[in-house]
Structure 1
């Protein structure tokens, strides 16, 4: 079945002038809750006991049969004879399955005795969502992307409507790697990453297809609106991060002399960059909320905090308003020393923007899991250290004087790094201090450090075994970081400071003039980047037009595969912006495909006995059907066992029913007898 292409305009999305979808108004929160409850009931009955997870996720699962998939669709209700009415409720199917999976995760953490059962049910809900996505991808790509994955829905929980969200956001926040790893989900993310699907300005609850991706006109792509594309924002962030690193290097390694030098222009640029990044972090954390907080948020905030302290001491050395108890040269040295300590963080920060590369992304996932696992080690270490510190301080105060407290604390800390020394405790409160220190060394060096190694090994093994799924989950998080940005007009840091400067002026203008001013400012700022966008997107637009001409999805023919002689797209236009006629590329592609197929046929016909017989193709088709009888026999055997169990149960029930009738008859006979005194 050919895939339905996505709509190419807002009119094709069937929206009104406010951007709301006309024919598919979303179900209300109570209806969404009922669908979720139906799905939970289905999964509860389907998985009554804990089974192996592989029985759920494997291809051709005997648990998730076509009948179960059909029941999953029917759990949404609706008029089965009316397709549009039916789609209204089926649109929330993936959303509800992910929500049900989260319910099972909550139950797993509460009812530990049944955690295995709830984990299997959670995986079942995710696998059902994956199967539904795969089926809808083949039937209706528009319905899958716009309604099932990207449209936001609200569900009622405990008589309160939860904040509306979509299936993509929920699956990413809950780390549902099974759903995220599905092909349809990944295609949706790629379209978001490229800016082929954008959020509606009129209704943030829905997403629409970008109208101009198939246009070959220059000004349709030389437009600041295209900077909203996550891919281009990521490129800009990498460029500004490299500039930030170069400026930081110049500032840290540019000090000459012991006197306090005036503020250099390069330092001013560095502080402006930092302030822009800090403002961006504050705004995103305020608008996005807790969902924005992550490992990298903490990492960046630590870096900016160190730089802020350095800036404070630097300005205090130039303008000694505060901290006058020391000379300005002292605070100048402190400023540069703090800035030097931030160097590892500045260099490591590049990994945040390079994580879209698969190798770097996988390693970052490993690092993140290792950091989480290390929290267990540090909690144990701190508790044990506090106990031994109190013991050593008690020994030090046993004679009424505190003498070697500082050396004791230092030695306990460096022992963790394998640099401890027994000399400090040789003549200190023998033999108690030595006994305590030997115990401390044994616990830290032999037990805790080996626990840390085991935790790191477990984290690495877990991520490597699921490297592809973990990488796709990471890219999903990265894409949503851009999609969830609250600004209608994107100013990538540190250009957001220019937006702040223009805010007072924009407040004095009406909406139309404000948009014109924003457009002009962004056009000037992003003109170098937009030049690259135009040169790239016009060439892509030709391929998209070619795909639509052949009734194929927009992302078809991206790669010319050697096993398909009819795919690929060839554009021989060597100009910067690809201004040649679109039909030249179409004709060249069709001509090359026809020529390739003709040469292949001629080469095959050169030997009349070369070609295989038609019977061979028939035999190959039969192979795909060989597995079906085996599966059917397994299902038949299982069904037969269930029927026997039901028959046995029915016989027992019938016997019990007859016994009850006899007892009731005896009771009625006793009541009818006359009572003799």
Structure 2
């Protein structure tokens, strides 16, 4: 990475900002930009024009396969009569033998096109949504039927491709990122996709040091040596980044607990408070950097929660600094000039942020299925709440203007607008105050408040409950798939923004100091060695635990290979109970020699054909047999009649 201008490197000015189209254009860019020295030279592996042709062929195929409005279950069910093996094979052949690696990516491009078309052409929205689902189903079948695992991981899912839009190639992206961007749950839940995510999460697929936009196999995963895995570069692995973030969050929470429960009467900062504010500064720098580099589209629910938390902590710090500038004289006439006043106010802001501190812990527990599913539900509920709050805002403004008008006409009967706002807020919280409005130009004030309470408590709140219930049912009916999608999104957050040196907040403050002191004059090789040494000190506990874990996995790989396994998949190195039972010499069964395969084959049903179709086919066979018998009888009777006539 060029280091001629260390200021540019700190703030990210050396990274070009591209205009990111909206999601409707089907060209969603990375959550974060990549290396500056590779970002300018990232090109599609297959020419963009050829990828676009494959996408157009697939679009035409899907339009032919789904010519009219169809129920989604008819498209997604197993052995569908819509997405037949012939359709899947035709999709596979759309790229030919030379470009078949980009077919899954092109299907996701078609999905984005149909999603855009369903918004633009509302009269055919159901048709386009059905075609969108068909693209997902075909892509999932292609991923699950691919036998070459290496080709699937490296070429189909992780290779980057572009299409031509207005004659210009789009920013190269891969299928695994595109599926997350489009929330293609069917594709994400396919076995091959999850294997790729699992390998990325465990660090078995890593970014190439020379070109971080490509992925290669981790060469040392079968090395038993502990020191081979004791490498600061392994902190880039999503599993270890997530573990480090969780440890930092717990430390952040401990510092807050110590600071808020040990108020300093003198108003001076103790060690826990200093570390707390330094942690907060690191988190703020990280959030600002991400927003600057990726734009506002990166903002989400948790960014809002963190923003409020960091604002409260910053306010607490500012008040503490103002308090330190005040005299200790408690006899001063104005209590606002007392140090104690600002100290108390600072601790009030700090204590007020406690719920946000504990809620923030959930952000790093989403790798567990229970918390992950609940966080998905919470996220959807917050989105659904926007409808309720939009309606509520309109209703509140209308009634507030009416109440203020009645109050002014009645010669300021209440004298404080805060009383009106408080009473309306209590009505929203299901604790109305009817007596407050009895003085507002009777009976108009009372009637208006009754109407307002009825609209809010009976109509709007029940709408909100219905929205929450719908969101909960939609997510939990598909909880496993939604959790896998959340897990894939979290994994890609760690690998979509490749960086030479991973400094997790608050260690990013250390990186800024290093760049400011050494980055602008030290040679690149020496500076990289310095970064490795500093990262080794910062992440020493995590590195030791990761090296011990990977050494044990390497031993398991060797044991698996000694038994005849490949050891190329993580599942191959884990001995499950059913596998140990099946491999034991005293319990092994030769199904073919004992004839059990034939018994099972005769007992199973043909799930590829519906029972009604099977009955019709059986009836047709019987009718054909009956017709054959009748024809034979007819011929026999005719021959007998001819013999009688000849006599």
Q: Please state which band the TM-score falls in when normalised by the shorter chain.
A: 0.7 to 0.9
Deviation string 1:619-651 (CA, Å, 9 cap, x unpaired) is 3124557445769968999xx9xxxxxxxxxxx
Q: Which residue of 2 is the match for residue 551 of structure 1? A: 566
Superposed displacement of residue 224, structure 1: 0.4
Is the CA contact (8 Å cut-off) linking 1:19 and 1:200 kept in structure 2? no
Corresponding residue for residue 492 of structure 1: 504
Which of 508, 512, 519 is the matching residue for 1:506?
519
Q: Show CA shifts across 1:297-340 (max 9, x none).
A: 2211221111111111111111359x996433322222111111
C-alpha distance in 2 between matches for 1:634 and 1:34: 40
Gaps of 5+ in 1: 1-17, 78-85, 568-592, 606-610, 641-677
* Residues 49, 117 of structure 1: 8 Å contact kept: yes
- Identify the residue that residue 286 of structure 1 maps to in structure 2: 292
Assess if the C-alpha contact under 8 Å between 1:544 and 1:554 holds in 2: no
For residues 613 and 235 of structure 2, the distance between their equivalents in structure 1, rounded to whole angstroms, comes to 57
Q: Distance in 2 between matches of 1:375 and 1:545?
A: 54
Deviation digits for residues 653-673 of structure 1 (CA, Å, limit 9, x no counterpart): xxxxxxxxxxxxxxxxxxxxx
Q: 1:563 aligns with which of 572, 578, 582?
A: 578
Aligned pairs for 1:389-404 within 5 A: 389-399=400-410, 401=412, 403-404=415-416
In 1, Cα distance between equivalents of 2:531 and 2:592? 66
CA contact (8 A) 1:56 1:64 kept: yes
| Aligned residues of 1:547 and 1:556 also touching (Cα < 8 A) | no
Q: Does 1:468 align with 2:487?
A: no
- The separation in 1 between residues aligned to 2:437 and 2:611, in whole angstroms, is 72
Paired residue for 2:302?
296
Tell me how far 1:284 sits from its aligned partner: 2.6
1:370 is the counterpart of 2:388: no
Q: What's the secondary structure of 2:221's corresponding residue? A: helix
Give the secondary structure class of the aligned counterpart of 2:206.
strand
Higher deviation after alignment, 194-203 or 436-445: 194-203
Q: Which moved more, 1:535-544 or 1:337-346?
A: 535-544
Q: Which segment drifts farther, 383-392 or 265-274?
A: 265-274
SS of the aligned residue for 1:208 comes to strand
Instruction: Look up the match of 1:65.
Output: 84
Q: 1:298 to 1:630 in 2, by over 3 A?
A: closer
Partner in structure 2 of residue 653 of structure 1 = none
| Deviations 1:362-414, CA, capped at 9 Å, x for gaps | 11111111111111111111100000000111111124547343311211111
Partner of 1:34: 53
Paired position in structure 1 for 2:345: 334
Question: Which whole-Å CA distance do the structure 2 matches of 1:393 and 1:629 have between them?
Answer: 70
Structure 2 equivalent of residue 620 of structure 1: 600
| Distance (whole Å) between structure 1 residues aligned to residue 606 and residue 316 of structure 2 | 72
Alignment deviations for residues 59-114 of structure 1 (CA, whole Å, 9 cap, x no partner): 1112222211111012114xxxxxxxx2x411111111111111111111222221
State the superposition RMSD in angstroms.
2.8
Provide the secondary structure at the position in 2 that maps to 1:283.
helix
User: Which of 240-249 and 152-161 deviates more?
Assistant: 152-161
The unaligned stretches of length 5 or more in structure 2 are 1-36, 328-333, 621-647
Q: Is the partner of 1:75 in helix, strand or coil?
A: helix
Closer, same or farther: CA 623–324 of 1 in aligned 2, 3 Å:
same
CA contact (8 A) 2:301 2:379 kept: yes
Q: How does 1:171-250 map to 2 (within 5 A)?
A: 171-250=179-258
- 2:418 is aligned with 1:410: no
- Residue 145 of structure 2 aligns to a residue whose secondary structure is helix
| Counterpart in the other structure of 1:650 | none
**Partner Cα separation in structure 1 for residue 272 and residue 593 of structure 2:** 76
Q: Distance in 1 between matches of 2:411 and 2:313?
A: 44
1:293/1:200 CA distance change after superposition, 3 Å: farther
2:281 to 275, 281, 302: 275
CA contact (8 A) 1:547 1:553 kept: no
- Inter-partner Cα distance in structure 2 for 1:508 and 1:483: 29
Q: 2:230, 2:547 within 8 Å by CA — same for their partners in 1?
A: yes
The 1-side partners of 2:438 and 2:38 are apart by: 79
Distance verdict in 2 for CA 1:324–1:421, change over 3 Å: closer
User: 2:162 is paired with a residue of what secondary structure?
Assistant: coil
In the TM superposition, what is the alpha-carbon distance from 1:25 to its structure 2 partner? 7.7
The structure, 1 or 2, with the larger RCO (C-alpha pairs under 8 Å, 6+ apart) is 2
In the alignment, does 2:363 pair up with 1:352?
Answer: yes
1:170 corresponds, among 178, 199, 208, to 178
How many Å separate the matches in 2 of 1:159 and 1:631? 51
Partner of 2:587: 600
The equivalences for 1:653-664 within 5 A come to: none
- TM-score, length basis structure 2: 0.83
In the alignment, structure 1 residue 43 sits paired with structure 2 residue 62: yes
- Contact 1:252–1:336, Cα closer than 8 Å, also in 2: yes
Normalised to the residue count of structure 1, the TM-score between the two structures is: 0.79
The size of the alignment, in residue pairs, is: 569
Q: Does 1:134 align with 2:175?
A: no
The answer as to whether partners of 1:547 and 1:554 remain within 8 angstroms in 2 is no
